[in-house]
């Protein structure tokens, strides 16, 4: 197993296990993360996002992943997160493609891509089906996620 494969494996097994210190140890302190829901996160925001999501899942988070490629500076994985979302505990099965960039053996950049409309349909039901493809709703989802993360970070200081 290459060093980058080990880091990718450690990241996903640590997310599945809820081991925050192991998640943190995968990332360079100057990491940049991007996905369709949170937008761009930097540095300590990244492991805090994972910690918040793990805590909100209350043990109801399953992760499956496949490492597609790994090299000394770049790697990718396909993964699926299965969990419940929101007050109504709607079931979510989100398939994500991740691109990783490594520096000094750690993740310096991570881009997660998935179809936010598919996610919105699962998360919000009929309204997600009708509006989840629109920039307006996607922006609202992003604003709410970023606000939740900022509130979470402030309360855990």
- Mean of the per-residue pLDDT values for the chain? 94
Decide yes or no: CATH 3.30.870.10 for domain 3-155: no
Return d(Cα 148, Cα 157) in angstroms, integer.
15
As beta bridge partners, residue 113 has 97
The tens-digit pLDDT sequence of the chain (157 residues) is 888 999 999 999 999 999 999 999 999 999 999 999 999 999 999 999 999 999 998 888 999 999 888 888 999 999 999 999 988 889 999 999 999 999 999 999 999 999 999 999 999 998 888 888 888 899 999 999 999 999 999 998 7
In angstroms, what is the C-alpha Rg of the chain? 15
Q: What is the pLDDT of residues 45-74, one digit of tens each?
A: 999 999 999 999 888 899 999 988 888 899
CB atoms within 10 A of CB 140: 13
């Amino acid at each position: 197993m290459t060093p980058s494969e080990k880091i990718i494996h450690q990241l996903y097994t640590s997310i599945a296990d809820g081991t925050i210190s192991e998640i943190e140890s995968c990332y360079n302190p100057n990491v940049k993360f991007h996905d369709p829901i949170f937008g761009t996160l930097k540095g300590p925001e990244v492991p805090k996002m994972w910690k918040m999501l793990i805590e909100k899942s209350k043990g109801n988070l399953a992760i499956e992943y496949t490492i597609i490629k790994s090299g000394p500076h770049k790697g990718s994985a396909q993964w699926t997160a299965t969990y419940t979302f929101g007050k109504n505990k709607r079931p979510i099965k989100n398939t994500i493609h991740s691109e990783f960039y490594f520096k000094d053996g750690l993740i310096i950049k991570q881009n997660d891509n998935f179809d936010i409309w598919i996610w919105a349909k699962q998360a919000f039901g009929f309204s997600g089906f009708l509006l989840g493809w629109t920039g307006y709703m996607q922006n609202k989802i992003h604003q709410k996620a970023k606000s939740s993360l900022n509130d979470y970070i402030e309360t855990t200081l």
